């Protein structure tokens, strides 16, 4: 049975990235009526940043060369580590159970929100592979960062997530859907780029629905 894990990271309750991830999720659920759906709002309910005990768990997983995610719990040996495990275990269980991971995220300061980075840090261990799963990222960016644009070199949002999912998790299927130039709606200096935003957002809404059916 298919299982969709849906994460939103925008600090805005009503945001472009949330709208796009919602379009994908609605289309996916309609196409998979028997599928399981798990939702987590990383902004409304932030995941704690990793601490000393988490690093100890990570070191013990690495030292033991443990690659079976189902065996990670075996390294817990102190009350502090048990407390850290209690935080990360449900997050890890949700991730492992999903065959599709949907992430709605804005670009903040050329990269991703700290709320999303905290989730990534909690669920990531050495030599951890999630091969066979699909990752979809719906995002909103204040400017234009696509191929050939002046700001392409400072896009540390898509580049980071793509490199991480492909390189560390060994995921082979990663898709990005971007709505760009959203700052044109509030920045007078970008008012002449609103048509670019509207075109980008319309295309992103259409693409989000299509990607869910692939």
Tell me which H or E stretch contains 89. helix 79-97
Name residue, tokens 């204040």.
142
Residue 176 is assigned to a ligand binding site: no
The answer on whether 15 is annotated among ligand-binding residues is: yes
- What is the layout of strands, in order, in the sheet containing 173-179? 36-41, 3-8, 100-106, 134-140, 173-179
| 45 assigned binding-site residue | no
**DSSP class of 109:** T
109 annotated as belonging to a binding site for a ligand: yes
Cβ contacts of residue 211 below 8 Å, gap of 6+?
A: 24, 136, 175, 177
Rounded to an integer, what distance in angstroms lies between the CA atom of residue 106 and that of residue 26? 20
**Residue 111 labeled ligand binder:** no
Q: Indicate the Cα dihedral angle 38, 81, 46, 69, nearest 10°.
A: -30
What is the SS3 string spanning 124-172? Answer: CCCCCCCCCCEEEEEEECCCCCCCCCCCHHHCCCHHHHHHHHHHCCCCC
Is 2 among the annotated ligand-binding positions? no
Extract the annotated binding site for FMN. Answer: 10, 15-17, 107-110
Extract the annotated binding site. Answer: 10, 15-17, 107-110
């Amino acid at each position: 049975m298919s299982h969709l894990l849906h994460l939103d990271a925008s600090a805005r309750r009503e945001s472009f990235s949330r709208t796009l991830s919602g379009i994908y999720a609605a289309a996916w659920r309609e196409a998979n009526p028997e599928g399981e759906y798990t939702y987590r709002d990383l902004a409304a309910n932030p995941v704690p940043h990793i601490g000393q005990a988490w690093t100890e768990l990570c070191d013990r997983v690495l030292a033991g060369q443990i690659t079976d995610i189902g065996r990670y719990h075996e390294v817990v040996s102190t009350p502090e580590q048990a407390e850290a495990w209690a935080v990360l275990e449900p997050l890890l269980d949700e991730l492992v159970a999903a065959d599709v991971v949907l992430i709605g995220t804005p670009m903040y300061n050329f990269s991703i929100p700290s709320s999303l980075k905290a989730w990534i840090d909690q669920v990531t261990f050495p030599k951890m592979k999630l091969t066979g799963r699909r990752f979809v990222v719906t995002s909103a960016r204040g400017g234009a960062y696509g191929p050939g644009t002046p700001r392409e070199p400072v896009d540390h949002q898509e580049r980071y997530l793509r490199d991480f999912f492909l390189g560390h998790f060994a995921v082979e299927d990663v898709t990005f859907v971007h709505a760009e130039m959203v700052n044109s709606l509030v920045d007078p200096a970008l008012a002449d780029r609103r048509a670019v935003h509207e075109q980008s957002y319309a295309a992103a809404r259409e693409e989000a629905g299509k990607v869910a059916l692939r």
